[in-house]
Amino acid sequence: MNSEIIHHRSYSLRKEQIPPVVVERLDDIERINLKEKIKKKLVERDAVIVSHYYTDSDLQLLTDETGGCVSDSLEMARFGYETEAKNLIVCGVKFMGETAKILNPEKQIFMPDLGANCSLDIGCPVDEFSKFCDAHPDHVVVVYANTSAAVKARADWMVTSGSAVDVIKYLNANNKKIIWAPDKYLGDYVQKQSGANMLIWQGSCVVHEEFKGKELETLRENHPDAKVLVHPESPSSVISQADMVGSTTAIIKAVGKMDAKKFIVATDKGIFHKIREVAENKILIEAPTAGKGATCISCAHCPWMAMNSLKKLLHILETGENEIFVEKDIIDQAKGSIEKLLKFTCNNKRTSLANDA
Ligand code: 13P
Ligand code: SF4
């Protein structure tokens, strides 16, 4: 194996750094009223919503109803880049809002909750990361989308889960040595798929890290007819049992395409909304988390994605609060690494559900 793992420090979060999952509860009347008000405000502000599959199903439905985009992080970035609307409302986490701003500095970008972060972003502080890069100047710096704008500004390439293997294979074919950050599990998976020479940062996703290989084995024994679909931010003990490993979009597509009735899904359970929309007759089972030792961080739902809600969305449309700002020099430096990926994936294949039509 060519990969050299950097052990100088683990970037796992402490429990107190992870907020509880709080889900907004609405009755039908409240929901209808909120949605009507939001729809009017979107028109007044010439705004469109871009949402991730992990957000609340009400937000996903509203996004689709109003001509926005519900997708994985790659297509969220691309949609923001291509839409003509003056304002973008990003329902997701901070790195998604910042990516939208970097690609569209002339647009106003808003998020329902500016506290919606990501453990991978938090676990890759730019100063330490820059030192790490400076210590290995002969390496190409590839960062996952789940990083701050400042970290992207230090990178040569940004990749997403839907594009990481292809980009690293391409760089490896060109004899490049690679710095990979921040997800250690995705980095390890990509290294195994590509055989590339990689230095891997030791960050992790608090949601996917909780999926457990042993409990998955037992679940598979109880459901031998189920196919296992896994997001590559999961540990290798889970990935090794997968029938398909891929981005959120790839997981949704797989349920529609695979000739099976039952699926065990190892990713945030917010995705079940879209899977049910495109494949309503299939049986979906959540992959097991920490079993008896389960805590609130092992409920397969991202606490930061859960911060997005209809009430907060209406609030920002009414007040103009929660705009995303990124410094101009960071935008100028980070744009190149993101645009490189958009061009690369355009030349290969796009990853949206719509492309399958
Ligand atoms: P996708 O790009 O596959 O949607 O992943 C984003 C993410 O944050 C997964 O945890
Ligand atoms: Fe980050 Fe994990 Fe949440 Fe995705 S699910 S946004 S990787 S913490």
CB-based burial label for 281 (10 Å; 0-12, 13-18, 19+): exposed
The verdict on 52 and 180 lying in the same domain is: no
Count of beta carbons in the 10 Å neighbourhood of residue 17: 12
pLDDT at 125 over 90: yes
The verdict on 236 and 293 lying in the same domain is: yes
Residue with CA at minimum distance from ligand 1 atom 3: 247
CB-based burial label for 26 (10 Å; 0-12, 13-18, 19+): middle
| Confidence (pLDDT) at 74 | 84
The verdict on 195 and 124 lying in the same domain is: yes
- Which of 18, 51, 208 for a ligand 2 pocket mutation test, highest count of atoms within 8 Å of Cβ? 208
- Distance of CA 88 from the midpoint of ligand 2 (Å): 21
Tell me, using a 6 A CB cutoff, whether residue 233 lines ligand 2.
yes
Tell me, using a 6 A CB cutoff, whether residue 93 lines ligand 2.
yes
Query: Tokens for 299?
Result: 């409920």
The verdict on 283 and 135 lying in the same domain is: no
Chain-wide mean pLDDT for the chain? Answer: 93
Q: Which ligand lies nearest the alpha carbon of 230?
A: 1
The verdict on 91 and 232 lying in the same domain is: no
Average pLDDT value for residue range 220-232: 98
Which ligand 1 atom sits nearest the alpha carbon of residue 247? 3
Residue with CA at minimum distance from ligand 1 atom 1: 72
| Confidence (pLDDT) at 292 | 59
Band (357; pLDDT cuts 50, 70, 90): very low
Residue with CA at minimum distance from ligand 1 atom 6: 73
The backbone torsions φ and ψ at residue 227, rounded to the nearest 5 degrees and listed phi first, read: -90, 145
Question: Where residue 277 sits, what CATH number does that domain have?
Answer: 3.40.50.10800
Q: Which ligand lies nearest the alpha carbon of 77?
A: 1
Band (271; pLDDT cuts 50, 70, 90): very high
| Confidence (pLDDT) at 293 | 59
pLDDT at 157 over 90: yes
pLDDT at 3 over 90: no
pLDDT at 352 over 80: no
For 281-322, the pLDDT digits (tens) are 999 999 999 765 566 566 899 999 999 999 999 999 999 999
- Which of 111, 121, 207 for a ligand 2 pocket mutation test, highest count of atoms within 8 Å of Cβ? 207
- Domain hosting 142: range is 4-16+120-200
* CA 49/CA 223 separation, integer angstroms: 38
| Confidence (pLDDT) at 43 | 98
- Distance of CA 265 from the midpoint of ligand 1 (Å): 14
Residue with CA at minimum distance from ligand 1 atom 8: 146
| Confidence (pLDDT) at 81 | 85
- Of all residues in the chain, the percent with pLDDT exceeding 90 is 85
The verdict on 279 and 315 lying in the same domain is: no
The verdict on 327 and 183 lying in the same domain is: no
pLDDT at 201 over 60: yes
Q: Which ligand lies nearest the alpha carbon of 297?
A: 2
Q: Which ligand lies nearest the alpha carbon of 53?
A: 1
The verdict on 147 and 232 lying in the same domain is: no
| Confidence (pLDDT) at 15 | 84
Average pLDDT value for residue range 110-120: 98
Tell me the CB-side half-sphere exposure of residue 80, using CA atoms within 13 A. 34
23 vs 30, higher pLDDT: 30
For 158-167, the pLDDT digits (tens) are 999 999 999 9
Average pLDDT value for residue range 74-89: 91
The verdict on 187 and 214 lying in the same domain is: no
Band (181; pLDDT cuts 50, 70, 90): very high
Tell me the CB-side half-sphere exposure of residue 219, using CA atoms within 13 A. 24
pLDDT at 243 over 50: yes
- Distance of CA 73 from the midpoint of ligand 1 (Å): 6
| Confidence (pLDDT) at 197 | 96
The verdict on 55 and 180 lying in the same domain is: no
| Confidence (pLDDT) at 13 | 87
The verdict on 36 and 104 lying in the same domain is: yes
Tell me, using a 6 A CB cutoff, whether residue 200 lines ligand 2.
no
Tell me, using a 6 A CB cutoff, whether residue 306 lines ligand 2.
no
Average pLDDT value for residue range 97-113: 96
Band (5; pLDDT cuts 50, 70, 90): low
| Confidence (pLDDT) at 297 | 65
Tell me, using a 6 A CB cutoff, whether residue 266 lines ligand 2.
no
End-to-end CA distance of the chain: 40
pTM listed for this prediction: 0.94
Band (209; pLDDT cuts 50, 70, 90): very high
Q: Which of 308, 242, 223 is nearest to 49 (CA)?
A: 308
The verdict on 145 and 272 lying in the same domain is: no
Q: How many domains does the chain have?
A: 3
